[in-house]
Amino acid sequence: MVLTKELLKLKPLILGIDTSCDDTSVALLRGREVISSELSSQTELHSEFGGVVPNLAKRLHEENIQEVYNRALKDNPGMINNVDFIAVTYGPGLAIDLEVGLKFAKELSLRHSIPFVPINHMEGHMYSSLLLNSKGNGLVNDQQLINSFPALALLISGKHTEIIYIKEIGKYKKLGQTLDDAAGEAFDKVGRLLNLGYPGGPVLSEFAKRGKRGVITFTTPMLQSNSLDFSYSGIKTAALYKANELREKGVLEREWIYDFCRGFVDAIIDSVVVKLKKAIEENSDVKSVFVGGGVFNNEDLLRTVGRLTKSYDLNYYYPEIEYRSDNAAMIAIAGYVNVLQKKYLSKKEDIEKIDRDPRLSL
C-alpha cells in the first residue's frame, strides 16, 4: 500500500494489547500519537528462575491485565466507547501467554462491537519508530514516512534476529534470520554464565562500556557466509570455553569480566554490521533502515548501525528507548498500519476464529 498525506490524516483511536512474553502491556493511540502506554513488568519475579516461566507469566498476565487496561484508559471505563479499533498480538510469543491478551481483546471487541486487528509482534517492532508523543512529535514526520520506502527492517529482540525488505507498507520479504540462537538469547545466556543475573543482557552491555577493545576477542559469527542469515550458538559456546579457561587459570573475574563483555558485544555488533551492509548493497533501491527490538537498548549497537546506515545516505529510524522492548504501543502502531490497509475484522465469527500462533513469521 502506498502512503499519502490524505491517508495519514486518518487518526483512529486504537487500543493495543500485548502479553506475548513476560510483560503485560496496554496502550492507547490516536493515529500515531501515544495517549497512554502502561506496562506491568514481571522481570523481578522471573529472575529467581533465571528465565521466563510460561505458566507463572500466564497467571500474572491474568492477574494484572485488567488493572493495566484501567490505567491505559486513565481509570475512565467509558473511554472504551470512543475506541475505533482493538489491536492485539497473536504471535509470535509464548503460546499460553499470548492466550491471555487475545482472550481479553476478543471479549472487549465483541462486547463493544469494536473492529479487531490481530497483530504480528514483529511488525510491531518494525514500526515502533513511527510512534509520536502526545504533542505529535517524533523521529518520523508524515512526509518522511511517505518517502521512506522501499526500506529494510533490522529486528533484534529476545528470540528474533532478522532482516526484512519492505517494498511498501504491508509487502514484506524476509532476507535473513537467525539459524539458531538469536542475538538477544546469546546476550542473556552469556550473561548467565558470567553470573550477571536475569536478564543478563542489559548488565553485560553495561559491563562492556568499562572494557577495553581488543583485549579479549571473539570471532565474528557468520563472517564468511554469503547469506544474510545469523547464527549465535557458536559465539555462545566460545564464550563458555573462554570463561572456563580464564577461571581454570585462576584469574579473578574482576580482572577480565569487563574486557570479556567488551569483546563479546563487539563481535555481535560486527556480525550485525556485516549482514546489514550486505543487505543494503544487494538492495540498492532502499531509502531507509528501520530498527526495532529490545537488543537496541544497547547504545553501541544503535549508534553503530546508525553510522553504517547514514554512510549510505539512507534514513535511519529507531524507536525511543521506552518502545524498544516489548510494549503495547508498538502493537497499536502496527494496528494503525493495518487499519490503513483495511486489514481488520468486524464479524463475530471471524474474530472468534483467530487463534494464537506462537511461531508466526512476517
Q: Which residues are annotated as a binding site for substrate?
A: 155-159, 188, 201, 298
With vertex at residue 201, the alpha carbon angle to CA 234 and CA 157, rounded to the nearest 5 degrees, is 80
Alpha carbon distances (Å) from 271 to 179, 181, 219: 14, 14, 9
Q: The dihedral of CA 302, 214, 274, 313: what is its sign? A: positive
In the annotated binding site for Fe cation, the residues are 121, 125, 326
In the annotated binding site, the residues are 121, 125, 155-159, 188, 201, 298, 326
Q: Which three cell numbers stand for residue 185?
A: 538469547
Residue 23, Cβ density class (10 Å: 0-12 exposed, 13-18 middle, ≥19 buried)? buried
DSSP assigned state of 83: -
Query: Distance from first CA to last CA of the chain, Å, rounded?
Result: 16
3-state secondary structure of 47: helix
Minimal CA–CA distance to 84: which of 19, 34, 15, 35? 15
